[in-house]
Structures are given as structure tokens and as C-alpha cells.
Structure 1
Amino acid sequence: MQAGSPRWRRRSQARPGEIVQAALDVFAEKGFAAAKLDEIASKAGVSKGALYLYFETKEDIFRAVVREAVVPNIDMVEAMLAQATIPFPDLLRLALARIEAVVETSRLGAVAKLVIGESRNFPELARVWHDEVVSRMLAAMSGALERAQMRGEVRLGDPRLQAFSIVGPILLGVIWQETFTPVGAPPAPLQSLIRQHGETMIAGLAPRAGVSS
């Protein structure tokens, strides 16, 4: 087959995505430190030399994993929280339903576990996860809470701390599933956890009767 043929070009263009998917699988199975570039290349069906055409370091591959596997979902939730004009309780239910779908259908938990477990030795992992995922999610949720406070739908308080209260238990559930369930702990039913937590937060954030918000 000629190198300039359409099929060859499609294969070449597909390689970064294949490498990222292979890296996600290897990182989830082995962790970051133990993951070998040779293994990622082999799983992606490329040579190690071809891998270096797209990524200079393993940290670059991890950054691509986050941007390909996680960030598009953050974009969607961020846009939902920024643009919606519905009451905050309904907005929170929609946002949590989206987060629930992401948690159930992606390797988000494996990536989060990797960051928590290995960021001490590889601080760049924490930096990428913070900048690309955590800070954006907290900012989007904080903005929605601040606007809801201005409309009188949510009790007054530090919206960033309120956002931490919403996101924190979900992260705990994800980490529980990845860390403790495999060693025999009772599973955390994430769907039920997220939905019950959402209703608890809606009730807890509601303005108190007789108190001006």
C-alpha cells in the first residue's frame, strides 16, 4: 500500500488515540510508575519509536489520557452548569446524572486512584489532574451555587466550600470502588450513592424558613 493512500493516512491519524487508549488501560492495570512505554506501544500496536513521534514522555501520555478520557465530560458538565437557567435543585440533579454516567461508563476511578497513589513521587500527575479536572469542576459548581444564592434558591455560604461538599462524597465513593471493593469490602453502589447524596445536598442547601438568603 502506498504511504500516501487514504487508508494509510487514516491509520496514521488514528495512532495518537490508540496510544492514549492503550496507556489508559496500562495505567489502570499497572499504575503510573510500573507502566512501561514498551508495553503501551505494544498494546497500541505501534513501535516504541512511533510512540515517541507523538509523545516525548510518559507524563505527556498521562496528560493526553486525562484530556481524551476525562476532559470532554468536564466540558459538558461545565457548560451545563454555566448555561442552565432552571432552578438549582433541578440543575444539580441533571449535573449529578451526567457525573453518574461518566463514573459508571469510564475509567475515571482508575485515573483518580492513580493520581492519589502516585502524585507524591510524580507531582506532575497531580498538577494535570488539578488543572484539567478538579479546579474546573469546582469552579463550575461554585459559579452555579453563587448564582443560585443570588436568586435565593440556596442558603448563603462560601460557594466553593459548598461545591467541595457536593463533589467530595462522590470522589470517596469512586475511590472506595477502586481501592477497597477489590479486597473484599462491601461495594459502594455509586448510582444510589450519587442520587441520595444529591437529594441530601438539595435539602441541606435549601434556604432556611424565616432566614433571609
Structure 2
Amino acid sequence: MPPDSHSFTAPPASRRERRKEARPGELLDAALDLFVEKGYAATRVDDVAARAGVSKGTLFLYFPSKEELFKAVVRENLAGRFPEWNAEVDQFQGSTADMLRYCYTVWWERIGATRASGITKLMLCEACNFPQITQFYQREVVAQGQQLIRRILQRGVDRGEFRALNLDYAVYAVLSPMIFLMMAKHSEEACMPQEILMAPQAYLETQINTLLYGLCQSGTAPAAPSPATPSENA
């Protein structure tokens, strides 16, 4: 009697099939490494394919050009995360000052401390030379990031926690510490004297305290934990 089609279990995927399924992720991982290490202009698709252990032809099956490969890297590591971050803002129950502290902490853990932070340095250095990827990055990352920060600041104003703000410019007060920290991470010798040990969490805590003194209605920032020493964050 032939086996019941409803109870039939398909055999496990072969090694070749599993390898094929893994390739897009491996290619994106290799591309992120090389884009961060070399920049956009100097990264060749041949090198990405070699690092991922596939042929250039295989790479082009998934990503038809270097530009499309770069866009996929940005979506995988940055742009694709905004739905998650917006949902967290929607669900946050604390004060807006606490929300800003939380956003800085989460941003550092998920982006700033990772290889993905190198994408920002790449764009700052090469944007003028590649208008098409610049327009893409502006639309998918910059605009969404600014809109998210505007929502947070507007929440503080609407709840009476923050002063009335020019949001078009206030968003940059929040973004600037993040941008500096990413540049320091990927260009440390140029951004920081060698004798200074940069402790990212302590830096962000100092920046958020300074920011909240200017934002909050009372003119004094809400109490926060004592900043960690550099040795604790190294």
C-alpha cells in the first residue's frame, strides 16, 4: 500500500540545497564586511563573491549589480529595522526622557556597536560621488530615522515634558552624538586623540543628559544612573 500522502515526511534538504538557501545571507554578510572595510567605490563584486565562497555568476543570480547588492545590505542592516523600532515607540509606557535614553541604548547595542555602523561613515565619505545610492539612502534610512526621532520629540512636547521645539532642527541634536560615535568607531585616530579612551555608553549618557537639560520644561534633566567609568565600558 502506498504511504498516506498526509503523513508522508519529505526527506531533509540536501547539503547542496541548504547551501543554496544560505547564499543570499552569506553574500550580504560578506558585502557588509567589504563595504565597511573598503568603501563603496573600492569594493568589487568579485571580492564579495570570493569572500562568500561563490562565483561572481552566482552573486549576480541574487543581486544583478553592485548597486543592488549595496541596497540589499542597507535594507538588511538598517532600513528594514524601522518597523520594529516604530512599534517599540508605539508601545513605550515611560516618560519621553526615558524613551530617549532607551533609544540611545538600543541604537548602540543593535547598530552603533556593530559593523553596520560603518555604513554611515561610507555614506558620509562617498555620497557626493554616487547620487543614486545617496538618494536611496536618504529615502530608506535618513528620512525614516528623522521621522522616528520627530515622533519621539513631538511626544515629549505634546505631553508637556519638552519645551516647544523647531523639530526640523531638533532632530539633529539627537542624531549628532550617534553620528560622531560612529565616525569615532570607524575613524578613531582622526576623530579622537590617542590618549583619550572612548567609552561609548558613558559618552552617550553624557550626551543625553546635556540634551535633556535643554529639552525639559523644568530646565533640569530627570535623574539618571551615574555614568559608568571608561574601564566598565571598554
Residue 193 in structure 1 maps to residue 203 in structure 2: yes
133-142 or 42-51, larger mean C-alpha shift? 133-142
Structure 1 residue 163: Cα displacement? 1.7
Gaps of 5+ in 1: none
Change (3 A) 1:162 1:114: same
Pairing partner for 1:15 from 23, 41, 66? 23
| Alpha-carbon displacement from aligned partner over 1:54-91 (angstroms, at most 9, x marks no partner) | 11111111111111122344443332223323210111
Answer yes or no: is the 8 Å Cα contact 1:82–1:140 preserved in 2.
no
What letter matches 2:151 in structure 1? Answer: G
Gaps of 5+ in 2: 1-11, 220-234
Residue 163 in structure 1 maps to residue 171 in structure 2: yes
Change (3 A) 1:155 1:183: closer
Change (3 A) 1:73 1:193: farther
Higher relative contact order (CA 8 A, sep 6+): 1
What letter matches 1:197 in structure 2? Answer: Q
Larger radius of gyration: 2
| Alpha-carbon displacement from aligned partner over 1:7-50 (angstroms, at most 9, x marks no partner) | 33222121111111111111112111111111100101110011
Residue 175 in structure 1 maps to residue 175 in structure 2: no
Distance 2:147 2:133 in 1: 20
| SS of aligned partner of 2:129 | coil
| SS of aligned partner of 1:120 | helix
Answer yes or no: is the 8 Å Cα contact 1:78–1:137 preserved in 2.
no
TM-score, reference length from structure 2: 0.80
Answer yes or no: is the 8 Å Cα contact 2:112–2:178 preserved in 1.
no
Match of 1:115 in 2: 123
* Matched length: 206
| SS of aligned partner of 2:58 | helix
Pairing partner for 2:109 from 101, 114, 128? 101
What letter matches 1:204 in structure 2? Answer: G
Distance 1:177 1:8 in 2: 39
Answer yes or no: is the 8 Å Cα contact 2:184–2:192 preserved in 1.
no
Distance 2:120 2:13 in 1: 40
Describe how 1:66-145 pairs up with structure 2 within 5 A: 66-145=74-153
| SS of aligned partner of 1:95 | helix
| Alpha-carbon displacement from aligned partner over 1:114-147 (angstroms, at most 9, x marks no partner) | 1111111112232232222221111011012112
Q: Once the two structures are aligned, what percentage of the paired residues are identical?
A: 31
Match of 1:50 in 2: 58
Q: In proportion to residue count, which structure has more helix?
A: 1
| SS of aligned partner of 1:200 | helix
